[in-house]
Structure formats: C-alpha cells, structure tokens
Amino acid sequence: MNEDDVLDLLGRVEDPDLGDDIVSLGLVNDVAFEGDESVHISLALGAPYSPNETAIADEVREVLGAEGLDVSLSANVDDGVPAEEQVFPNVENVIAVASGKGGVGKSTVAVNLAAGLSEMGARVGLFDADIYGPNVPRMVDADEPPRATKDEQLVPPEQYGMKLMSMAFLVGEDDPVIWRGPMVHKVLTQLWEDVEWGHLDYMVIDLPPGTGDTQLTLLQTVPVTGAVIVTTPQDVALDDARKGLEMFGKHDTPVLGIAENMATFKCPDCGGEHDIFGSDGGQRFAEEHDMPLVGSIPLDPEVRTGGDEGRPIVLDDDSDTGAAFREMAENVANNAGIVRRRR
C-alpha cells in the first residue's frame, strides 16, 4: 500500500459539516508511512475534542484500520501567521463571549462554556476581560492569586482544569477601577501577553457588555477564532445583541452562534413552564441573521446558586440545565472547528 492508496481510502471519510470528503477539502496535511503496517496521518483539524472532529478522526482510524494499518494521528491548521507574531502562539482557539447589554448572564455563559470544554477533555484558559466588573473568580470559587516568575511573567491559578486570569486578582475586592481607554488597552495587552498560559486548546474570553474599549482592543490585537453572542429572549436584549453582531462583522470576526440565556422557566412547584422573558427570541434572532443557535439555557435558580457558590452547573451530570450548557459547549466547539477547517 502506498500514499495514493491511503488517500483513496481517506476519500471515503466525509466532513459532516462541510459536505465533502476530507481529501477533496484539503484536510489531509500529510501521509507518512512508518514501516509496512503503520501510517501517520496529519489532519487539518483545529477544534480539539469537538464531537464532529472527533468523529472524523475516529472514521479515519476505522477506514485505515480495516485495511490492517496501525494508524497514528496528529492535527494542525496552519493559519499562516509566524509564531513570533502571534499574541497567543500556543492557543489553538480564542473564543470571545459577548453581549450587547448587561444582565443577560454573559459571564455565566462564559464560565459554563469554559468549564464544559474542560470537562470534555480540552486544555482551557478562562480570561475575565471585564476590567470594571470582574466576577469570574467568584463564579469558580478561585481566590488564589497568580504567581510571578523571576522574569515577571504571571502564572495563572487553575480551577476545574481551567487556567484563570482576571482583574479581580490584581485589585482589592472593593476597589473601583476608574480608567480611560488607553489604560484599559495597556492593562489588557499586558494581561494576555505577560501570562504563562502554556498550550491551550481553547481560550474563552469573557468580555464586558457593550461595544467599548475592551472589545476594540481584543479585536485589533488578538486573532479571535469566533464569538458567542449572549442574549435573553426579550426584544430589548435582542436589540442590543444586534450591535454586538455588527461590531464583530465590521472586524471580520466570525460569530460562532447565539446563546439564548434565561429561556423557559420550569416551576418546581407546579411543573408548569413560564416564558418570563418571552419565548424563542434567540432562535428568531439567529434565523434572522443566518446564525446558528448554539444553545437555549433555561431560567434555573440552580444556575445562580452555582455561580454564587463557585461550581458551574455544567459540571452537574444530573441537571437538565447542566445538560443544556454541555450541549452548548459541544456546539461552540463544532462551530469553531468549521471556521478553522474553512481557512
């Protein structure tokens, strides 16, 4: 068996999202034989632990294994940017979580997304970029500050398998942050350049609400794989979500999907369902803008409890709301993979 034979076999493996086989799509970087019965395949897959890319890898092993080959795989997507020019040279995917307005549960979505990706097996960093109202450390019960190395690099603390960085670690608990745009830009740049993040599959960045200095700094300096826009079903929130959508569009940043938070409330006493903030607003918004709906998260008091007590509900295997967050994490990872494979 030679390389052409292997490529013919790999032509049977379909990409479930892009609608063609992985050879025709250019997703096979290299085929290298290691003896008569062993072959190494390098695939252009960029979303580790996403269900669809995992399925592609499994099918590659199955197709070649059926021919008696011992298969080893690696994955790499060349974005064309030299490592020395990258802000996060060892981070595969940067996912921004944004909202047009406050009060829609954006930080809750960011924390549960990051924890969900980590629970899937991915190496994850969670960066709380809300300079003025950082609350991620409380939501993951993290009070250990970062350590400093001899060369003045920060070593982020870890919780639930996630590496964490937040302005809350660097200022007093009750100290207000009163900074103008240039200072915000400087501090943010230092926070993501002077931190030893190590190798990460996903960096989840929790942005402050709105379309201000932090968002512009991020989009102008960091290669964002894609954004998740958080909204509630109500029209007021959707109006502001449009502003966020337009902001990412102006900076040619893909939107991985819309996350509808605080959807239907299921009464624990009567068992009835109530649309406190309206119904299906996120779905309509996604369809209107030809965007995927990555998740619809119920209005659940346990989400608030988990946030206050520092244990993300996505880690609760017995919770329906936790299951909704896990589905959202899988959808976001799948959509990040689509963006990377299309490049």
pLDDT tens digits for range 78-129: 876 776 667 788 999 999 999 877 788 899 999 999 999 999 999 999 999 8
Which of 155-159, 286-290, 291-295 is least confident?
A: 286-290
Please tell me which residue, 287 or 96, carries the higher pLDDT value: 96
- Give me the residue spans of the domains in the chain: 3-75, 83-342
Residue 71 assigned to a binding site: no
Which one, of 157, 153, 155, 154, lies nearest residue 140 by Cα?
A: 157
Which of the 8 DSSP states describes residue 246?
A: H
- The predicted model gives 250-278 an average pLDDT of 78
Q: Which of 49-53, 175-179, 204-208, 228-232 has the highest mean pLDDT?
A: 49-53
Show contacts of 243-251: CB within 8 Å, 24+ apart. 243/100, 243/210, 243/211, 244/98, 244/99, 244/100, 244/211, 245/289, 245/291, 247/98, 247/211, 247/215, 247/219, 248/96, 248/98, 248/219, 251/219, 251/220
Q: What CATH number matches the domain at 3-75, 3.40.640.10, 3.30.565.10, 3.90.1210.10, 3.30.300.130?
A: 3.30.300.130
Residue 103 assigned to a binding site: yes
- Residue 179's pLDDT band (cuts 50, 70, 90): low
Residue 303 assigned to a binding site: no
* Type and span of the H or E element at 95: strand 91-98
pTM for this predicted structure: 0.91
Alpha helix locations (H) across 181-226? 181-193, 213-221
Residue 74 assigned to a binding site: no
Residue 210 assigned to a binding site: no
Q: 83-342 in CATH: which number?
A: 3.40.50.300
Cβ distance 159 to 151 under 8 Å?
Answer: no
- Tell me which residue has tokens 């996903």: 202
Residue 243 assigned to a binding site: no
Which of the 8 DSSP states describes residue 190?
A: H
Cβ distance 43 to 57 under 8 Å?
Answer: yes
Residue 250 assigned to a binding site: no
pLDDT tens digits for 198-217?
999 999 999 887 767 778 78
Angle (CA) 4-8-9 rounded to 5° is 120
